[in-house]
Amino acid sequence: MHYINDTNFENENFFESALTQGDYEYCSFINCNFANCDISNFKFIDCDFTDCDFSSCAIMSTSFQNIKFNNCKMLGLQFDTCNPFALSLNFSNCILNHSVFYSQKLNNTHFSSCQLKEVDFSNCQLKSANFKACDLLFAIFEGCNLEKANFSEAKNYTINPELNIMKGAQFDIPEVIGLLNKYKLKINL
């Protein structure tokens, strides 16, 4: 297994020339293409990804420890298959539509200004997670711990408080009506 430390990768197309399998620590990836690649069993520790495309990338048993994704396209990623040990992710201005986080521990994870349309968060631990200014259209929250989660400026969410732990979660008006959708109420604002 290769160990790569403190290296910058810029404008690389890993679909055409595969990234060497190994452990990557303190590395930066800028404007790199991982779309349709297989990075299963890789380990990334303290790495930053900026302006990268991960769409339909295979991440089975991949380790993501203290990782920051900025302005990345990450359509349909199966985060439920990655290594849960020390999983620590932060997303800013990313497109994560159709991704799956099923049953992952994502406490304190930041999703800032992200598109999270049709993302499956079922059975996730999301205590103190931050969804500030995210679009959560058709995102699934069932069996989640959303204690102290921040949904400020978030929009298009539908969350059933009866199916989730939500003590201390933050919501804005008028979007908070997304907590009442199951009741089919007509609410005048």
Q: To the nearest whole number, what is the mean pLDDT of the chain?
A: 94
Average pLDDT in the 53-82 region? 97
pTM of the model: 0.93
95, β-bridge pairs? 73, 115
The neighbouring-strand residues paired with 130 are 110, 150
We find that the CATH architecture of domain 101-189 is 3 Solenoid (2.160)
Q: Give 117-155 pLDDT, tens digit per residue.
A: 999 999 999 999 999 999 999 999 999 999 999 999 999
Residue 186, pLDDT above cutoff 90: no
181 pLDDT band, cuts 50/70/90, is low
Question: Which class would CATH give 1-73?
Answer: mainly beta
Q: What is each CA distance from 31 to 4, 52, 100, in whole angstroms?
A: 19, 5, 23
Same fold yes or no, 1-73 and 101-189:
yes
Q: Is the pLDDT of residue 56 over 80?
A: yes
Contacts of 150 by beta carbon, 8 Å cutoff, 6+ apart: 128, 129, 130, 131, 132, 169, 170
Domain spans in the chain, listed from the N-terminal domain onward: 1-73, 101-189
